Amino acid sequence: MRSRIQSGEWSPGAQIPALDALAAEFDVALVTVRQAVALLEAEDLLTRRHGRGTFVTERSPQKQIWLKMESSWNALVKKWQGTRPSILKVADDVPAPLDPADGKPARSYHYMRRVHIAEGLPYTIVDIYLDGELYARAPKRFDMERIMPVLASLPGVSIPSARETLSISVAGVETARLLKVQINSPVGVVRRVVQDQRGVVVFMAEVIYRGDVVKLERTFVR
Domain ranges of the chain: 2-58, 63-213
Is the separation of the CB atoms in 108 and 135 below 8 Å? no
Instruction: State the Cα–Cα distance between residues 119 and 123, nearest whole angstrom.
Output: 10
Q: Counting every residue, how long is the chain? A: 222
Alpha helices by DSSP H, listed for the chain, are 2-7, 19-26, 30-42, 73-79, 132-137, 139-144, 147-153, 173-179
Per-residue pLDDT of the chain (222 residues; tens, 9 = 90+): 987 887 778 988 899 999 999 999 999 999 999 999 988 887 778 999 888 899 998 864 444 555 565 555 565 555 555 556 788 899 999 999 999 999 999 999 999 999 988 767 788 899 999 999 999 999 999 988 888 888 888 998 888 878 889 899 999 999 999 998 888 888 999 999 999 989 999 999 999 998 877 766 666 766
pLDDT score recorded for residue 62: 43
Instruction: State the Cα–Cα distance between residues 141 and 145, nearest whole angstrom.
Output: 6
One CATH from 3.40.1410.10, 3.40.225.10, 1.20.1560.10, 3.40.50.2300 for 63-213: 3.40.1410.10
Alpha carbon of 96 to those of 133, 185, 206: distances in Å?
A: 14, 27, 11
CATH 1.10.10.10 fits 2-58, yes or no: yes
Strand boundaries in the chain, DSSP class E: 46-49, 53-56, 86-91, 104-105, 109-118, 121-131, 161-170, 186-195, 200-210
The total of other beta-carbon atoms located within 10 Å of residue 21's CB is: 11
pLDDT score recorded for residue 191: 94
pLDDT score recorded for residue 119: 67
C-alpha triplet 136, 142, 144: angle, nearest 5°: 135
pTM: 0.68
- 187: β partners: 169, 210
Please give the span between the terminal C-alpha atoms of the chain, in angstroms, as a whole number: 36
Instruction: State the Cα–Cα distance between residues 190 and 130, nearest whole angstrom.
Output: 16
Sign of CA dihedral 50, 35, 119, 89: positive
pLDDT score recorded for residue 132: 96
Backbone angles phi, psi at 59, to 5 degrees: -130, 145
